[in-house]
Structure 1
Amino acid sequence: MGTRAAGAATLKRLRHSRGLSLAGVARALTRTAVALHQPRLPAVASVQRSVARWESAAPTLPDERYQLLLAHFYARTPAGQMAVGAGSDLAELLGALLDLGESETRVAFLRTALIRTATDTGGMLALLSTPVQAGLSVALIDPSRATEETAAGLVAVVADVNAQVGSVPMVRLQLLLAPVIDACRRLQAGPLPGPVVGHVRAVAVAACSLAGRLAFENRDDGASQALYAEATAQAERLGDTWPRANVHMSHALVTLYSSPDLTDAQRLVGQAVHAARSGDSVKVRARAHALQAEISARAGLERQAQAALGLAWYDIESQSGSDPSGSSFSAGHLRGFEGVCELYVGDPSVAHDRFAASAAALAGPREQVQRAIVRADQALARIRMGDPRSAAELLHECVLAAVATGGRVPAIRLRRARVELRPWRREDFVADLDDHLMDVLGA
């Protein structure tokens, strides 16, 4: 069976699984359009002909309007509950759209749109398959009945939330993640089966660490510190040390941006490097050395910064095969760290080129927060090169990115760059930037 034929077969199977005729799907899509306040669809007979074409021997791809309606329809179970995780009808639909020729970017957009809806209606459970939901419900009542599949379902939720950073507002992601942390606490309060203990603890580490970052992004520094403390305590009881290094790095970054004093950030990144060196993840080790380089550069320690960068490049270039951490840290990310080091203890023109290369490499939806940070730093380099007008033009792009991602760090970087534009505050290009900042950030 060809790829397009497989997509058509999946659409037919989804329809049959709900006991619907072609006309039944047409009526369901019409009702969905009304519920979403979309423009009315054509007559049911016309919509029915479209549904038939999607499932035919020479299938056509539903257009974007119908894709959205199909996604909203299949994102709810026949009982009306949201279900957008692995194994759901929505996941099946999105796979069918890929088979029918839709782009991965468009399919990712559709899934993000439905995850946004899940934060309003389905919460964490919407990201779990029906069997995992049932297993989790049993385990929360009696932790001794928890299984590895239960823990794997929670891992998938954390991964889903993490993948949506930069696409879904941070506060919505916090709402999705909070029940995972509560579930881990409740499971660990009971007698978990031996093989499951480590899996649940690993979920707790990842969930608390990510929640600490999200709390920081949402300007709740007290909650952020408490969550990082919990993540650290859990990580210390795991076998490998790279998860502990990840927690320390995330904590170091939010500390770096919430306090002008570098002491605590330096301490945390030192702990991260120590843990990463004895761990099995080369990518985590590379990122720890890169962050150590940045913090050294910010402290004016050029020799230490260059030494740490050298170690980070060694790590990146020596990696082979799969990495146990699943980290996406790459040479593109590392070029951004190189740029920061050049900005503080080197040549701003070299920094600018490093930032440009890094921004070009950070193209994925998940990387938009980091791209916004790199662009703001690139603008700072332009200011220090004596080109404030061009810097202001670049900062307009950063304003839009900061709004789109909802990230606190891009906003902080923006404000720092604006401070360095003060000598030109009477120029029109700075006034235009100020107006833009005020309009969208209230800054």
Structure 2
Amino acid sequence: MTAHDRRVGAATLKRLRLSRGWSLADTARAIIDAAARLGQPFGSSIASVQRAVARWESTTAPILPGERYQLLLAHLYARDLDGQHSLGHGSDFAELLDALAHLGESEHRLHELRTLLVRTATDAGGSLLALLGPTTQHALTAALADPSRLDEELLAGMRATIGDVNRQVGSIPFVRLQLLLAPIVESCRRLLADAVPEPQLPELRSIASQAYTLAGRLAFETRDDEASRALYSAATNTAGRTGSPWQRAIVHMSHALVTLYSTQGIDAARHLVDAAVRDARAGTSITVRARAHALQAEIAARAGAGRHAQAALSLAWYDLDGDRNGDPSSSSFSPAHLRGFDGLCELYVGDPAAAHDAFARSAHALTTPRERVQRTIVTTDQALARIRLGDPHAATELLHECIDGASSTGGRVATIRLRRARHELRPWRTEGFVADLDDHLIDALGA
């Protein structure tokens, strides 16, 4: 962190304070009051806290606020001047996180702060517009009243909000994420039905496709299959009008995964995956093509078609090892994700020991909060491999971790995989370690 970065951070904190009309003493009082509301009363005087605020804003040697002060500042700046939660792009809260980053705070800590405040904002059905920054909120309201006012800046804000929701998967329960995404989904629907400016239509369709796809996945996770199907249908139709086949491939892949777990058999999922592969091959995203081939490999393995599965896996690795500079997709599909597909293919049509090792490598590399759901799924599959290797006791040790992961997010796929792994433990159902696992399942997931 350079001296220039720290000065930028200090100047941002000062600008935030002045935008509220606060003096140094006013800020100190606001921090002390926030601490009292949160049940963390200060023993320090106003003068002492005021000196701390001044050190953060120093033009010569600014310092990073400590973690307790960061939390209190986050609660202060998470609400706008009208007292409403505002956490999105352009909000005071977003500016605060940017200031802390310039002053040297870690990305992990900033993610923790953001997650905590999103949880706070959505407690008891809280603000549905929390992730819409103030500029985006006002511009969206104006565009809904007069579609001719839709512009690039508003579209960028809408896409950023979808990205914010997507990044919270694994940190925030799915039902809350639905609430946060709902305003964007409804706004896309209304704007597409109106006469928006022609130059903005391709980007609006792209954003709507992304919003509908994520909403379809969230509806599935919260067990609303009818809504999920309707949203995926809207996403498919909208993506098909973007002129970018890879965007429709993304919709097909997400739809295929939820179909695999919400319908009997694999035929419906196979049709969607095959459609995804066709679109991905016709598109310009290597990353999307790699993921489509990986899903094709999984479907083939589940059907017992070992040679087909290995051929599709080889294509996926070939794609992923290619030059992805300039790839139009923002997908995070990585070698860590693909190793999970390696494990699945080995589990169904290969060697359980090789499957176990592939799952272990994949889970070890899936470290970000956004990857928590996938890590839980992969680790559950790793436990299943241990069962098939004749080590059920070691498998249950992993499954206890997976139960905790699944219960924290309400992930439906992870829960289904857990139940299937428990089904494989039937030969040991009288053992104490299986009884302990059942107790944990009931306590955490009610099943």
**TM-score interval w.r.t. the shorter chain?**
over 0.9
Q: 2:221 aligns with which of 197, 217, 225?
A: 217
Aligned residue for 2:204? 200
Describe how 1:23-422 pairs up with structure 2 within 5 A. 23-40=25-42, 42-56=44-58, 57-120=60-123, 123-422=127-426
For normalisation by structure 2, the TM-score amounts to 0.96
Q: Is the 8 A contact 1:116 1:168 kept in 2?
A: yes
1:118-172: CA deviations, max 9, x gaps? 3357645332333322221111011122112222211111111111100111001
Could you tell me how far 1:99 is from its partner in structure 2? 2.1
Distance 1:290 1:74 in 2: 43
Distance 2:95 2:182 in 1: 27
Q: Is the 8 A contact 1:143 1:192 kept in 2?
A: yes
Q: 1:296 to 1:175 in 2, by over 3 A?
A: same
Q: Is the 8 A contact 1:356 1:378 kept in 2?
A: yes
Runs of 4+ in 1 over 4 A off after TM superposition: none
Q: Is the 8 A contact 2:253 2:276 kept in 1?
A: yes
Counterpart residue identity of residue 416, structure 1: R
Counterpart residue identity of residue 100, structure 1: L
1:273-321: CA deviations, max 9, x gaps? 1111101111001000000100110111111111110110110011331
Secondary structure at the counterpart of residue 318 of structure 1? coil
1:317-348: CA deviations, max 9, x gaps? 11331310111101110000010000000000
Count of residue correspondences: 443
For normalisation by structure 1, the TM-score amounts to 0.97
Q: 1:42 to 1:435 in 2, by over 3 A?
A: same
Secondary structure at the counterpart of residue 32 of structure 1? helix
Greater Cα offset, 194-203 or 369-378:
194-203
Distance 1:402 1:128 in 2: 28
**C-alpha root-mean-square deviation of aligned residues, in Å?**
1.5
Distance 1:27 1:85 in 2: 26
Q: 1:168 to 1:41 in 2, by over 3 A?
A: farther
Aligned residue for 1:2? 4
Counterpart residue identity of residue 224, structure 2: D
1:177-223: CA deviations, max 9, x gaps? 11111101111221110111111111110111100100010011111
Counterpart residue identity of residue 96, structure 2: L
Unpaired stretches in structure 1, ≥5 consecutive residues: none
Greater Cα offset, 87-96 or 420-429:
87-96
Secondary structure at the counterpart of residue 155 of structure 1? helix
Q: Is the 8 A contact 2:287 2:324 kept in 1?
A: no
Q: Is the 8 A contact 2:84 2:127 kept in 1?
A: no
Q: Is the 8 A contact 1:383 1:421 kept in 2?
A: yes
Secondary structure at the counterpart of residue 130 of structure 2? helix
Q: Is the 8 A contact 1:148 1:195 kept in 2?
A: no
